Amino acid sequence: MSQTHHLTTTAFELSGYRAVRSLGVVRGIIVRSRSVIGNIGASIQTLFGGNISLYTTLCERTREEAFNLMLEHAGELGANAVIGVRYDANEIAAGVTEVLCYGTAVYVEPVN
């Protein structure tokens, strides 16, 4: 699955659909650390300024994995959509970060 899904939204309503059943909060959690080699490469990139692409790639991949885990959790509950999608991140130890993607799992039907 990719970074987007046509039945997910940060809003609390999904345009063109009606939520007929709310299935509760769903989440995807990833805990990731930076590798020593990645830190060295990123340190070299900081010498030149600008985007630190090694960290950007790591962050994008981690968010995508958390998003996909959230979608899996929603599917296990029988949902076909997730509304109110949010991300949160916390450093839980030096160089170790938790990324959480969460929202409300719902079953939606098209509005006629």
19 or 35, which is more confident: 19
Q: Which amino acid is at 104?
A: T
What is residue 48's predicted lDDT score, i.e. its pLDDT?
67
Residue with tokens 């090694």: 54
**In the predicted model, what is the mean pLDDT of the chain?**
86
* Residues 50-86: tens digit of each pLDDT: 676 777 888 899 999 999 999 999 999 999 999 999 9
3 state DSSP class of 62: helix
What is residue 96's predicted lDDT score, i.e. its pLDDT?
86
| Residue 82 near residue 8 (C-beta atoms within 8 A) | yes
Enclosing H/E stretch for 36: helix 36-48
For residue 17, pLDDT over 90 is answered with yes
Domains of the chain: 17-33+63-110 (3.30.110.70)
What is residue 59's predicted lDDT score, i.e. its pLDDT?
86
* Residues 22-39: tens digit of each pLDDT: 999 999 999 988 665 655
CA torsion sign for 16, 17, 18, 22 is negative
Q: Which of 35, 57, 59, 55 is nearest to 45 (CA)?
A: 55
HEC per residue, 67-84: HHHHHHHHHHCCCCEEEE
Q: Which of 85, 93, 89, 100 is nearest to 6 (CA)?
A: 85
pTM: 0.83
For residue 12, pLDDT over 50 is answered with yes
